[in-house]
Structure formats: structure tokens, C-alpha cells
Structure 1
Amino acid sequence: MRRSQLATLLVLLTMLLSPQLAMLDPPVEQSPASGRSVACGGAICLSELFVNAVGSETDAVGPSDWTTGEWVEIYNGGGSTVDLANWYLQDNFQTPRYLDFGTSRIVWPQNAQNANLAPGDYMVIARNGDGQSCGFCMTNTQGKVTLYDASGVMQHEATWSTYATQSKSLIEGTSSTADWVEAGSLTPGQANSGGGVGPTWNISDLRISEVLPDSWPTDDNSTYPGGEWAEIENTGSNSIDLTGWKIQDATGNTLQLNESHLVGHATSSAIEPGQRRVVAVNGLTQYGVFNNANGDSVYLLNPAGEYVSAANYSGPTKMGHSYVSPSFGNGNWVTSLFPTPGASDARNVNGSSPLRINEVMVNATNSWVSYPNGEWIELAHLGSNPGVDVSGWELVTGTGQIIPADVGFVDRDSGSGTIVDAGSFVVLAVPPTTAEMVVNGDRLSLLDGNGVIFDSIEWGADPGINRTVISSDPELPAQPQMVSGWATPAAANPNQLSGSVNESASFRISEIMANPSGSD
């Protein structure tokens, strides 16, 4: 199957596999067109943005090749020279990052000795292969760049909401307060080559609420419930007829909200207040619609062709996982706990139950053999009496596969039936016929019979064959995961053991060579 307090007496191979999943607020929808670019307020303005480089975004750029790294062009439309030495650029919707106008950043004019910009001249700023990590990287799917003067006053802001085509630059379109549009050609250090007209945005009660861009275990173009899909939600108070509406990605791939792609169209072509409906590939395209490798933008367009909602996600995507809007800001979308087509997003963890997902064997040598071999999941009751009856409970993988928690435990340290005693550990076998966990990155969530999510864990990489994934802090729900030193089914994990070292023996571990110069 494809699938931190440490005790002082242990040596654990630690691997941080995911960020903590906390209680999350409801999703925040991207603001409509009125909240986009801000017109230039002075003589010094943004002129051209090169967002999606052919290189590694921060590579060196220059006259011989302007496509190898990101850059921002500035123009002086005033009547006097301006010293930009203490001016700066800010990027990124969620975590602001900055780029100054030091001479090492100025790639045009060449060999600049200062940051003076004469009237009618252009200046190009870039990371220019400084060897650092992405301290100022413009997001390809959705982002903004803001220009500030030496006093920290914003002078100009440019935004984009459609996926930036590689090797294409962005320039201001016909409206100074709309998203920037693709230029006809790259023109660093000179006047821009006219661009096309950007998308027209409008306000609607409909929004994209969830996207599954990389179907698994089915193919991307499979018939629903397999295959890729997007979910839309009616946030208003009136029914809306979906005739003429469509889902479209950054490259123009389209799903019409008709009988071919709107799930349940035969029953109704409308979406009621508060309702969510699924728009699926549904086996009617040769391939999938959404980009899995490089990320994509997904848009909802009304019958007039106006954009009303957008979802942006980065790549490569996690197969079988759906994406929902971030809880804060308008950045790239994030994976949900598990897909919920047509229902509310799975994004909140309620930690009120003493039951925890305590240990997971996700990559056994042979998945098809019975316990104690094969794959399994351990639950632990980490509270006090009474025990917890798991009748009707289930575990759900990040790809939406369901593992009943009440079908019988294959191992336990105490108790019987479906009740998990206080302080005890129980084990569920997970053969491939039940579910398949993704070894190189997946999630498990624990739900009660009412669908309340009491715990959720995630690993982001293969823990290794016959190695188990355990919580870095077993006392709390939804904690970062680590790899255990050894498997402990139906027993406390190594970092849950207590006691002191018995020093009665006359021998010690005195030295360890963990990383020899040659082959291990």
C-alpha cells in the first residue's frame, strides 16, 4: 500500500512530516475585482512584471536572456531624476517579502553605480542569482507586487489572478485598478508592447468551494465519482439557474455546467441557497482538465463570460486530495482533511475526545498478509474513565477512503468489543481490500458516528518500510508526525514510555558511528 517531548532513553529517527493542523476558521473567498490593482500615485511606477521564469525564479537575468529569472521593471514618468536607493518592493498575499533597490539588484541599466532613475527611463530589479532561497518570489498562480517609497508609502500595486504563462510578462491593461494582463512581448528597459484585455470580473453569490485536481485511485478523466472535479457553493439567499455557467482553468480547458458535467443535472440545473454542487470531468474528456504537475488556476464564469470566483493551487499536487481556500488571506489553496464533494469542507479538528490516532504502519513489507504483518492503525485512549465506544466511528484517508473503526480489533492490551478502555491501545488491520494509504504522503482523520472529526494526522513522505508514523506530542490532537524508532502495536509508543534508565548492568553503549565516510 502506498501509501515530537522525546523520552531521554530513546534514540528516534525524527522526521517532521506536516504542519500542525489546528482548529480552522471558515474559508475566506477571494475579493472581487474592486479589490485588485491600485493605480500609481506618483511619477515612479511599476511598468512590467516577469513572474514565471524559465529558470529557478531567482536565477541571474540580463540582456543576453531575460527569461531565466523573475524581474520587476520600474518607470519614471515624471520630470526629474529620483533616487530609489531606499525604495523597496513587497510581494506575496500571505507572507510579505521584500526586495530593495540596492545596486546588486539592478540588472538594468547594466553596471549601475547608484539607484537614480532619470525622467522617461526604466529600471529593472531582480534577485539576479544571489544564491539565496526564495526571499522574494512572485507566485505564478495568483499574487501581487507593491512599490513603496523611502518613507514606506505605497506608490503602486499590481495584481494578477490568472496563472502567469511561463516566459510571458505582465503589464497594466486598460484599467489601472484591474488585474494586469500578458504583454505582447518582453520589453525590459523599454516601452511595453501592448497586451491583451484582461478578464472581466463581477460579483456573484456563487463561489468555487473545493477542487480535486488529481484523481486517485481512478484516472483523471474517469466517470464521476471518479475523475477530477470542482465544487461550487451558493452563498446567497436565492436559487440560481446554472445554465450557461462554466468552470475553466488557466489554459482555457472548460467544463460546462450542463448535463454532461453538472452532477445531478437530470434532477435540477439550479443551485439552491446554501447548496453545494459538483462539476466533474465525468469521463467525457481524453485527459483530465486541471494541471497536476505545475499547479493551476480554476475559475467560475457566468453566462456573460465574466469571472466571479477563482481557486489557485500550486504543484505538484497530492494525488487524490482535494483543495480548499486558505483560512486567512487569498493565497494558494490548501489540502482539506479529505474530499467532501457536495458537502461542507473537512477542515476543523475537534480535540475533545480522549481517543487519538496513535501509530500507523503505512508501508509494510507485504501489504496483503495478515496482522501482525501488513498495514495497521493503532488507536489510543489517552484520558481517564470511562472508555469510549467506537460503534459507528470511522477513519478517513486524505483521499476519502473509509476504514470502519468498529469491525473488530486485531490486537489490544485490554478490554473487549468496540469499547476502548481508558489508557489502552487497540489495533485495526488495514488490508488493501479495505483501503489504501498513500505511502509518500497522506492523512488520516478519526470521526465519530455523527461525523465529528476528533483527530487528524498527516505524513508528507515515506517513513520507510516497516517503520511507523507516530505523533510528536501524543497528548494533543493533530500534531506533527515523526517516524518511530520501532513499531509498538497495542502498546505505548517509544515517546510515551516513562521511567528511568536501569544502571545496574556493567556495560554501556559507549560510541556510535552513524555516518561513515564510505557506504553505510
Structure 2
Amino acid sequence: MISRALFLSFILVLCPYVSVVDVAEATSGRAIACNGSVCLNEALPNPNGLDADVWPNGEWMEIYNSGSTDIDVLNWRLVNKASKYLTFDSSSIVGFEAGNSSTWTISAGDYMVISRNGSSNFYLTNTFDYITMEDSSGTVLDQASWNFSTSAPSGLSLEEDPAGATNDWIGTNSTTPGAINDPAVAPLPPVPSDLKISEVMANPWPSFDGDSWPGGEWFEIWNSGQSDINLTGWSAVDANGNTIPFNESHLVGSSMIIASDEYRVIAVNASSSYGVLNNNAETLDLLWPNGSVAQSISWSGTEPGFSMVEQMDLSWSHASYPSPEAVNPPHWDMIVNGSSIIKITEVLVNSTIDGAPLPDGEWLELHNTGNSDFDLMGWMLMDGMGNVTQIDMLSLETNMSQPGTMISADGRRLVQFFTGTELWNDYNHVMLIDQFGSVVHKSWWDNFPGQNVSLIESQNPMAAWTPASWPT
């Protein structure tokens, strides 16, 4: 009892210093229904350009007078969730004129824009925020909220959800400061076509996103039908409204016709310094010449140098390796299409000096599980970016007991990576390919194991490889 009482006393003393989690940030719907005739109507928390830019750029909110009388809003204010406020005055009211009271009076049925206009004391958060509007006496009249896992859409305003005044606000179709809102409409379902997006490279490496083909961002289209398709007028558009027309600037190859079962590449091709496709959350729509959506694909993340393809569950994630203008390789779970007595048994992906020869550089160990010596001439390793390392006398560590490209029965050989290919530390695929082109074994990892920590196959052969107790 004494120890429990002491423990409770300690907790009570500690309580004033314990931070309280803002429960609202983990939930939706901090908005409240407007209790007056002047209400919050539209918000732009994520403008194109600088948030703190001066009007007509930067962040802003719009109010609307749904009543029958004009209302003076001078010295009203907006308050964000961090208790930063923006007063309705000569700096924030768009169209304010000193000495002209009509410019700070919102007429019945009219709209007024309240701009941040360069203020450093107030801001609209892109991800999660709730904005309260108070009149000059401090009475709360309305509150808007939004909650985005990544960010509010760039350059697109938000408005009250027509399904409920207390719901988080939703995106409009277009920004309309000082005018009636342009509400977003539910997108029409895709109109399927034989033309499909079959592969996407949103995060190229070693080239930059905006480089010219064969570098830079690209995506691949496939004619899955039996007839040729004229690509004139076709295009693709991403979540930010960036349009890539299928024309001579982006369509790789001279013909505007894609034959049955043909694959073609659409390249960003230096049309944008920073590329177009987001490496993180992104959506890409394939559009018919009349603007109808034929296909819509989305992804949530990428790895440098890895392309993305549709998976068995219809999600989009990493391909086994890039294959522009060709049929996609099998999914990673099914990439092994041959068998062999030669196996990958251990990989060191982050060495003392990546790119150096042994003993300082990266390496991969091969094991001959058979009863006879074996010649590895003509074999190779390929990683998930398509980089190839030939298994030859240069890449194999010199071994006096196993000359040339031979590996003894139950023997082990180390392949070193110092001729241009380096293994990614955080994520990679490695395929062992025999002299006939069959993938006979594979290795992969999805976490950085640390420097000079080798990886070995997991007990679950479908799972990522795991750190070894020590390199062997």
C-alpha cells in the first residue's frame, strides 16, 4: 500500500508536465456548422508558389454573406489550430480602401476574400488544420477543418463538404476567390480501352527526373488489343493536372501508330526541369482523345531506379526490373523460372568502401550445393535496376583452390561489385541468371542492415533477407 501510494503521488506530481496528445489531429471532422449569416466558404492552404506571398498569390480564405443585410467585418479574425490569428483589416481584406466603409462591409449575397498577404503571424497548414472565424467581440461564428495524410492538393481550394457541415472540408473543382464555388464532381468511371499503361519510371537513377530520353521519367503503354491504335490526341495527366500529350516531344519512336501487342514509351523528355511524376503519392490517368479517362493508376512510393508495374492485387509497386518497350518480367514472387545447384547464400550490401574491390567492397557469396565442380562461365547477376554483373574472372575473387570461374562441390565463391554496379543499401533485388538466361535464385532486402552487416535468406523464402549474426 505504501509503495502504491507513493507511485500515485509521483504520477500526480508528474501530470502537469505530461504533454497531451491533440486527439483532434488523429480524427476527422473538426469543422462546426456556421451560426450566422456570414460564413467561411472557401480556403486555399496550398497555393502554387509561396504560402506567404502577397495577394493575388499566397494563402487565402473566402467568406460569404448568405443573409439579407450588409455586415461590417472590420476587426473580425481567423484563428488557426496553433492560435495564430489574422485580423480582417487593411492588410488582409482584398479590395480594402481607407475611409470607404463599403470595402470592409460584406453585402448580402456577396463574397469577400481574406488574404494572408505576406503575414508572418498566420498560416494555413497543408496537412491538418482547423480555422475558426470570430467576430470583433470574439464570438465564434464558424470553423473549417481539413485533414490530409500528405498534403492538401496543390493550387486547388477547399470548401465545406455538402454531405455535412461538421465534416472535414473537401477539394473544389477549381479556385474561385470572390465568386461562387466550383464544386468538385464525382469522376466518371473509366471508359476502358485496349491501350494500357503497363509500366512507370517515376524515380529514375542515375539520371535526373527531367532528363532527356533514355534518361528521365517515363511510362510505357501497351496495345493489348488485336488492332492498331492511332495515338494522335491521346495523353496522360497526373494528380496535379500536368498533361503529357502523346506527340513527337514525348512519344519515343517516329510512328503515331502502336501495333497490336506493341509496347511504346512516353518520356517526360526534358519538358520539365524537375520532372512531372511524384516519387511519393501520385495518380496517373490515361486519357482518350476526347478527354475521357481510359485508365487510372496510383502509387504511394518509389525507389530510385526501380520501375513500377501492376501487381497481382491490382496495386502498383516495384517491378522485378525495368523493361521499357518490352513485355514486363514476371512479378518478383514468381521471378525464379529455373533451378540450379548454385545458390546465393549471403550478401554484403554496405561495405567499408562501396565500389571498391575486396576486401573493402561489397560482395555476394555463391554456394555450390551439388556433388560436382561447376563452371560459372556465362552466368551473371542482375539487380532490380537492370544493372548486370558478369560472373567472370574479374568479378570473382581470386581463389587458388578454385581457379578461373570454377566453383568446387560444396564450395563457395565471392562475387565483388567494383566495375560500376553498386548495391542499394535500403532496397534492392538481385537475380542469379544462368548461361541460358533463366533466373535460378534471388535475393532481396527492404531495410538498411548497417555497415558491414551481411544478409542471409529468411526462413520464409518469400520474405526479405535478414541480417546475419556476422559476415561469413
Settle same-fold status: TM greater than 0.5.
yes
Task: Please state how far the C-alpha of 1:460 moved relative to its aligned partner.
Answer: 1.6
Task: Please state how far the C-alpha of 1:60 moved relative to its aligned partner.
Answer: 5.3
**1:306 correspondence with 2:292:** yes
Residue 439 of structure 1 is matched in structure 2 by: 425
Letter in 1 for 2:432: L
Q: 1:228 is matched with which residue: 217, 220, 236?
A: 217
**Aligned CA distance change for structure 1 residues 193 and 281 (closer, same or farther; 3 Å):** closer
Q: Is the 2:380–2:433 contact (alpha carbons within 8 Å) kept by the matching residues of 1?
A: yes
Residue 63 of structure 1 is matched in structure 2 by: 31
Q: Equivalent residues in 2 for 1:417-456 (5 A)?
A: 417-431=404-418, 433-456=419-442
Mean CA deviation greater in 345-354 or 279-288: 345-354
Per-residue deviation, residues 438-481 of structure 1 (Å, max 9, x unmatched): 212222122234432222222222211111122124xx855421
Mapped to 1, the partners of 2:281 and 2:241 lie a distance apart of 14
Q: Is the 1:349–1:478 contact (alpha carbons within 8 Å) kept by the matching residues of 2?
A: no
Mapped to 2, the partners of 1:57 and 1:416 lie a distance apart of 64
Residue 462 of structure 1 is matched in structure 2 by: 448
Letter in 1 for 2:306: H
Per-residue deviation, residues 27-49 of structure 1 (Å, max 9, x unmatched): xxxxxxxxxxxxxxxxxxxxxxx
Q: Is the 1:380–1:426 contact (alpha carbons within 8 Å) kept by the matching residues of 2?
A: yes
Mapped to 1, the partners of 2:173 and 2:410 lie a distance apart of 67
Identity %: 34
Residue 394 of structure 1 is matched in structure 2 by: 380
Q: Is the 2:356–2:417 contact (alpha carbons within 8 Å) kept by the matching residues of 1?
A: no
Letter in 2 for 1:310: S
TM-score, normalised to structure 2, is 0.60
Q: Equivalent residues in 2 for 1:361-372 (5 A)?
A: 361-372=348-359
- What secondary structure is seen at the aligned counterpart in 1 of 2:192? coil
**1:203 correspondence with 2:189:** no
Q: Is the 1:247–1:256 contact (alpha carbons within 8 Å) kept by the matching residues of 2?
A: yes
Q: Looking at both structures, which has the greater relative contact order when contacts are Cα pairs under 8 Å and sequence separation is at least 6?
A: 1
**Aligned CA distance change for structure 1 residues 411 and 483 (closer, same or farther; 3 Å):** farther
Residue 320 of structure 2 is matched in structure 1 by: 337
Q: Is the 1:227–1:281 contact (alpha carbons within 8 Å) kept by the matching residues of 2?
A: yes
Q: 1:377 is matched with which residue: 355, 364, 370?
A: 364
Mapped to 2, the partners of 1:56 and 1:336 lie a distance apart of 39
Q: Is the 1:168–1:183 contact (alpha carbons within 8 Å) kept by the matching residues of 2?
A: yes
Residue 104 of structure 1 is matched in structure 2 by: none
Residue 15 of structure 1 is matched in structure 2 by: none
Structure 2 unaligned spans of 5+: 1-22, 34-39, 44-145, 164-169, 175-180
Q: Is the 1:413–1:424 contact (alpha carbons within 8 Å) kept by the matching residues of 2?
A: no
TM-score, normalised to structure 1, is 0.55
Letter in 2 for 1:275: E
Task: Please state how far the C-alpha of 1:359 moved relative to its aligned partner.
Answer: 1.5
Task: Please state how far the C-alpha of 1:378 moved relative to its aligned partner.
Answer: 1.4
Mapped to 2, the partners of 1:323 and 1:57 lie a distance apart of 33
**1:296 correspondence with 2:296:** no
Q: Is the 1:318–1:441 contact (alpha carbons within 8 Å) kept by the matching residues of 2?
A: yes
Q: Is the 2:197–2:221 contact (alpha carbons within 8 Å) kept by the matching residues of 1?
A: yes
Q: Please give the root-mean-square deviation of Cα atoms over the aligned residues, in Å.
A: 3.8
Residue 270 of structure 1 is matched in structure 2 by: 257
Letter in 1 for 2:27: D
Mapped to 1, the partners of 2:461 and 2:24 lie a distance apart of 37
Q: Equivalent residues in 2 for 1:106-505 (5 A)?
A: 183=172, 194-196=183-185, 198-199=187-188, 201-264=190-253, 266=254, 268-292=255-279, 294-315=280-301, 317-328=302-313, 330-331=314-315, 333-346=316-329, 347=331, 348-350=334-336, 352-382=339-369, 384-408=370-394, 409-411=396-398, 415-431=402-418, 433-473=419-459, 479-488=463-472
Per-residue deviation, residues 52-106 of structure 1 (Å, max 9, x unmatched): xxx9984354236999xxxxxxxxxxxxxxxxxxxxxxxxxxxxxxxxxxxxxxx
**Aligned CA distance change for structure 1 residues 344 and 449 (closer, same or farther; 3 Å):** farther
**Aligned CA distance change for structure 1 residues 193 and 369 (closer, same or farther; 3 Å):** closer
Mapped to 2, the partners of 1:421 and 1:241 lie a distance apart of 57
- What secondary structure is seen at the aligned counterpart in 2 of 1:211? strand
Q: Normalized per residue, which structure has more helix?
A: 2
Letter in 2 for 1:357: I
- What secondary structure is seen at the aligned counterpart in 1 of 2:451? coil
Residue 71 of structure 1 is matched in structure 2 by: none
